[in-house]
A and B are shown apart, each in its own frame.
Chain A
Amino acid sequence: MMDDIAVKSTERHRAKLHPAAVRTMHWVNAIAIIIMIGSGWKIYNDEVLFGWLHFPEWISLGGDAQWALQWHFFAMWILMLNGLCYIGYGIFTGRFRRKLLPIWPSTVIADIRDALRFRLAHDDIRHYNAVQKLLYAGIILVITLQVISGWVIWKPMQLSELTQLFYDFQTARLVHFIGMAAIVGFLVIHVALALLVPKTIGAMITGGPPADETPPADPIHSPAE
């Protein structure tokens, strides 16, 4: 397998696993998401949804409510524009179809079982396992919903038709909070797994090995070693 990669990398203009556009959008998104979460926690603290939950000041962004709001309403444009580019790119280049689909419940369950026994293959980072596919597709949907609920909280009257889909203003806030929690949960898993397999971080910086356009022969029973 390694020889195979080495041979391919000598070919000229061979597309990398993560093209420059994907890497750029990934890190822009990472910065925007961190600003959104940090400032969002500060905004939340001014009127908490749960009495037992206040976010510590030292991990929130803004210092005072108005600056947290300004950070939030600045980074939201970066998140949205970058996200639109990313979704457009993923659809029109076929990257989403190639890398994230299909997702079958049976392969997800098999991969979770393997992961819990530390037998999940990750030597070939060019192919996502079913759990990765589920997480990556899921986080795209969660962030999309987060942007929509964010618009409803920002403009509940101008977008009153959309607000009704969330029942009302406070339920939109609740959905926005749950979306945040899902994104933070994803971040914890995503960063932890990336640290476990550090070459994935390198690949998101340098581009990684040449892309393999063919699907793996047997994604369910790929060898552990």
Chain B
Amino acid sequence: MFRPKNSIDRSALEENKKLIADFNRRNLLRGTFSLGALTMLTGCGATDNEAVRSFLQAFSSFNDRVQEAIFRPNHLAPTYREDQVVKPPRFNAYYDVEDVKPLDVKGWKLELSGLIDNKAPWSAEQIYKLPEQELIVRNICVEGWDYIGQWSGVNLRQFLERIGADVKAKYVAFRCADDYTECLDMATALHPQTILATKYAREPITDPFGFPLRLRTATKLGFKNAKWITALEVTNRFPGTYWSDRGFNWFAGI
């Protein structure tokens, strides 16, 4: 069974304390104090307490294990008709769409590292030549909104096999041009509906949505689907991820 090493590591929380405090996408809460229903019972800011956060983080790793246990590796998410596809897809990142920095495809490479036999980097041209799989699936955000998207690109399992990755390893980790990091459990990486997407609605994906390469899986919340990927690593060591370092559940399966 998997247990993320740093989800119960207090030092990770301490290091990111400022980031956690600073993080607020909608600037609604900055400087305000959390006063929940439980707070009124206990008379303190329940979730501002480091011990409470450590406990919740530790419990989150229990929920990771539950989600791994109930994951159905061959169960397919429902697929939809092409006329149900929302165009363009809905943007979401840890910053606003105006702050997206488009990548120059000429200098772009996909770096490979970790438990992989052939670590030669891939150019966009090479990746766009690989056989494509199309997914018309529902994308669900952790916030609660969803839309039906049409993504195509190389199946991740096929890509991992092509580069000689150790598919018995625990994680497939991604680094992105905007310093975002993500990491999938191997079962999800090998799921038939997990792809490295290069197109949306049959057109090359545009800058806000991850050009030239992004992840799209039908069995994870939206934020797990890394955009502007620049590096892929196969590893047994949990590398941490942008959102799980900030208190969101790591597995984030749907």
Is the beta-carbon distance between A73 and B249 smaller than 8 angstroms? yes
Is the beta-carbon distance between A47 and B37 smaller than 8 angstroms? no
Is the beta-carbon distance between B47 and A37 smaller than 8 angstroms? no
CB nearest neighbor in B for A70: B56
Interface residues in B, total, Cβ within 8 A: 48
Is the beta-carbon distance between B47 and A61 smaller than 8 angstroms? yes
Is the beta-carbon distance between A158 and B75 smaller than 8 angstroms? yes
Give B245 Cβ to nearest chain A Cβ, in Å. Answer: 10
Is the beta-carbon distance between B138 and A61 smaller than 8 angstroms? no
- CB < 8 Å neighbour of A73 from B39, B60, B246: B60
Residues 53 to 105 of chain A near chain B (Cβ within 8 Å): 57-67, 69-71, 73-74
Which residues of A sit under 8 angstroms from B70, Cβ to Cβ?
155, 158
Which residues of A sit under 8 angstroms from B51, Cβ to Cβ?
none
Once bound together, how far apart are the Cα atoms of A69 and B24, in whole Å? 15
Q: Is A222 an interface residue (CB 8 A)?
A: no
Q: Is A206 an interface residue (CB 8 A)?
A: no
Number of A-B contacts (CB under 8 A): 116
Segment from A8-16, A38-46, A119-127, A140-148 that makes contact with B: A38-46
Which residues of B sit under 8 angstroms from A136, Cβ to Cβ?
none
Residues 34 to 79 of chain B near chain A (Cβ within 8 Å): 34-39, 41, 45-48, 53, 56-57, 59-60, 63, 67, 70-72, 75, 77-78
Is the beta-carbon distance between B75 and A170 smaller than 8 angstroms? no
Given A158-B75, A158-B254, A61 and B36 touching (CB < 8 A)? Answer: yes
Is the beta-carbon distance between B248 and A66 smaller than 8 angstroms? yes
- CB < 8 Å neighbour of A47 from B45, B46, B143: B143
Q: Is B1 an interface residue (CB 8 A)?
A: no
Q: Is B14 an interface residue (CB 8 A)?
A: no
Interface residues in A, total, Cβ within 8 A: 37
Is the beta-carbon distance between A64 and B38 smaller than 8 angstroms? no
Q: Is B146 an interface residue (CB 8 A)?
A: yes
Which residues of A sit under 8 angstroms from B45, Cβ to Cβ?
63
Q: Is B145 an interface residue (CB 8 A)?
A: yes
Chain A window 16-49, contacts with chain B (Cβ cutoff 8 Å), 1 for yes, 0 for no: 0000000000000001001101110011101100
Q: Is B140 an interface residue (CB 8 A)?
A: yes
Which residues of A sit under 8 angstroms from B163, Cβ to Cβ?
none
Is the beta-carbon distance between B71 and A37 smaller than 8 angstroms? no
Is the beta-carbon distance between A38 and B36 smaller than 8 angstroms? yes
Given A70-B56, A155-B253, A158-B70, A169 and B146 touching (CB < 8 A)? Answer: yes
Which residues of B sit under 8 angstroms from A71, Cβ to Cβ?
36, 38, 47, 56
Which residues of B sit under 8 angstroms from A47, Cβ to Cβ?
141, 143-145
Once bound together, how far apart are the Cα atoms of A31 and B24, in whole Å? 28
Is the beta-carbon distance between B37 and A61 smaller than 8 angstroms? yes
Which residues of A sit under 8 angstroms from B28, Cβ to Cβ?
57
Once bound together, how far apart are the Cα atoms of A73 and B48, in whole Å? 18
Q: Is B126 an interface residue (CB 8 A)?
A: no
Which residues of B sit under 8 angstroms from A173, Cβ to Cβ?
144
Once bound together, how far apart are the Cα atoms of A7 and B162, in whole Å? 83
Once bound together, how far apart are the Cα atoms of A89 and B70, in whole Å? 27
Q: Which 6 A-B pairs have the closest CB atoms?
A: A61-B36, A63-B34, A47-B144, A38-B37, A66-B247, A70-B56
Q: List 27 A-B contacts (CB under 8 A).
A: A35-B38, A42-B36, A43-B144, A44-B144, A47-B144, A57-B29, A60-B37, A61-B34, A62-B47, A63-B36, A63-B47, A63-B48, A64-B29, A64-B247, A65-B142, A69-B249, A71-B36, A71-B47, A74-B59, A155-B254, A157-B75, A157-B78, A157-B218, A157-B253, A158-B72, A160-B77, A170-B146
Residues in A lying within 8 Å of B, measured CB to CB: 31, 34-35, 37-39, 42-44, 46-47, 57-67, 69-71, 73-74, 154-158, 160, 168-170, 173
